[in-house]
Amino acid sequence: MSTPRRTLVAAAAAFALALTGMPALAADIPPPDTVVNSPNVTHVLNIPKPAPIAATINTDIAFQDGYAYVGNYGGFSIYDIRNPKKATVVSSTVCPGSQMDVSVYGNLLFGAVDSSRNNDSCSSTSQSATIKESWEGVRIFDISDKANPKYIKSVETNCGSHTLTLVPGKGRDRHKNVYVYVSSYLPAANFPDCMPPHDKISIIKVPLDNPTAAAVATTPVVFPDGGNETQPGLLVPTSGCHDITVYAEKDIAAGACMGDGVLFDISDRLNPKVTARVTDPNFAFWHSATFSNDARKVVFTDELGGGGAATCNEATGPNRGADAIYEIVNGQLVFKSYFKIPRHQADSENCVAHNGSLIPVKGRDIMVQAWYMGGLSIWDFTDAANPKEIGYFERGPRAAGGGGGIWSAYYYNGYIYGADFHEGLDILKINDPLTDSAKYVRTDRLNVQTQESYRGGWH
């Protein structure tokens, strides 16, 4: 449980003050390593990183059948969360290679590797991408035995795999194949397997009855004109996509593509078509996307500073390093507003909009989102022009110094799970009239970048 040094009254007052949008005072920044939260959020449990991967940072999370799969630069861990209050570590698989963005599908776990390795094995070491024989891409594991996952296949992809997104097949194909949209970027003329112009994604076809036959099926070009390369303030010019979120049952996807935000028609899984594209002078790096449940809105995040800078301070302001909320009108993206956490962070804290998911509340658009050292924020964008935070959880600056914070924060079957760089897995619960109905919604599998609709129940 959290033990904030502020009294509950003071915490409530600080939260109310934050909602007014007034600047934070130095007194509002928690002491080093101190956990604080809004009155409607309970810190249920923290599980430190397992010893085999304790030296490397946690990243993304996937869920299936009461288990959480937490990626880590050193591999991944499986947690039994069937009783979240007594969650335990089942196993840790050591297999280094950042970022280890993870997704699960049946007995398969897919991990994204975006660091050039001397081979595709789990004992590989770093090796320059200038060497033709270097490897990076997607690793596939058999997780049927959760205590002993088995590495069964690797698929090399151009420029590696910074993130990956699972896309189920359509119709009869749904039971035969799953597709993996691989996002990668940053080509260089001296990288034999990652030469410019890149401007594309890779699509891996995985036969479900023979996953070791997985292979790249096609590499569609997203930006035949090169994309957004000249806008002032870009972290780097567009040269591919950072992350893609698909809403497969609606045959659409949203791409956060460095300097561009994109909508796709994915009715043909192997031939996604760009249907809308937008840029934003306040965005430095389009990082990720989340659709509303009715797919009439999409939230894009901006990873200003690449995640390593203090961008939640007063100097940066409310419109940079933020979320941008768009309505989808006649197939086009129409900007409505920005959202950024209203609590200023210390100048020593790396803080920026990062990975989050919807909380399944019928009739409202509410999501939980990670903000690195800004912690996690629960916010309502039902009114797209006037989003509001309704809850939060965070830690003060690290006493040990350096960066950190929560990489991904997702809602799954009544609880919120946060993967913290250093602190491990946080499990939280929100008790609020706006979100209470979500506790009745259950799902077997949750890969956040593979959105599914909720209709009182879930798939």
Confidence class for position 455, pLDDT limits 50, 70, 90: confident
Q: pLDDT tens-digit profile of 334-354?
A: 999 999 999 999 999 999 999
What is the rounded distance in angstroms from the CA atom of residue 250 to the CA atom of residue 255? Answer: 15
Is there a contact between 318 and 312 (Cβ–Cβ < 8 Å)?
no
Total domains in the fold of the chain: 1
Is there a contact between 67 and 146 (Cβ–Cβ < 8 Å)?
yes
Buried b (16+ CB within 10 A) or exposed e, 142-170: bbeeeeebebebbbbbbbbbbbbbbbbbe
pLDDT score, position 263: 98
Residue 27 belongs to domain with CATH number: 2.130.10.10
CA-based max dimension of the chain: 61
Q: Which of 163, 105, 140 is nearest to 354 (CA)?
A: 163
Query: Cα angle at 95 between 89 and 98, to 5 degrees?
Result: 100
Confidence class for position 28, pLDDT limits 50, 70, 90: confident
Does residue 12 have a pLDDT over 60? no
1 domain residue, yes or no? no
Mean pLDDT, the chain, integer: 93
3 domain residue, yes or no? no
String of DSSP letters for 346-382: PTTS-B---BEEEE--TTS-EEEEE-BTT-EEEEE-S
458 domain residue, yes or no? no
457 domain residue, yes or no? no
Q: pLDDT tens-digit profile of 155-193?
A: 999 999 999 999 999 999 999 999 999 999 999 999 999
What is the rounded distance in angstroms from the CA atom of residue 381 to the CA atom of residue 389? Answer: 9
144 domain residue, yes or no? yes
- For residue 204, the enclosing domain spans 8-451
Is there a contact between 158 and 135 (Cβ–Cβ < 8 Å)?
no
Q: What is the mean pLDDT of residues 72-85?
A: 98
Q: What is the DSSP letter of 21?
A: T
Q: pLDDT tens-digit profile of 403-424?
A: 999 999 999 999 999 999 999 9
Q: pLDDT tens-digit profile of 363-374?
A: 999 999 999 999
Q: What is the DSSP letter of 126?
A: B
Quote the tokens at residue 167: 């896309």
What is the rounded distance in angstroms from the CA atom of residue 68 to the CA atom of residue 87? Answer: 10
String of DSSP letters for 279-290: --TT-S-EEEEE
- Main-chain phi, psi angles of 211, to 5 degrees: -65, -20
459 domain residue, yes or no? no
198 domain residue, yes or no? yes
2 domain residue, yes or no? no
Q: Is the peptide bond before 197 cis (omega within 30 degrees of 0)?
A: yes
Q: Which of 226, 398, 403 is nearest to 308 (CA)?
A: 403
Kind and range of the H or E run holding 18: helix 8-19
Q: pLDDT tens-digit profile of 194-216?
A: 999 999 999 999 999 999 999 99
Q: What is the mean pLDDT of residues 393-404?
A: 95
What is the rounded distance in angstroms from the CA atom of residue 422 to the CA atom of residue 405? Answer: 7
Q: pLDDT tens-digit profile of 275-319?
A: 999 999 999 999 999 999 999 999 999 999 999 999 999 999 999
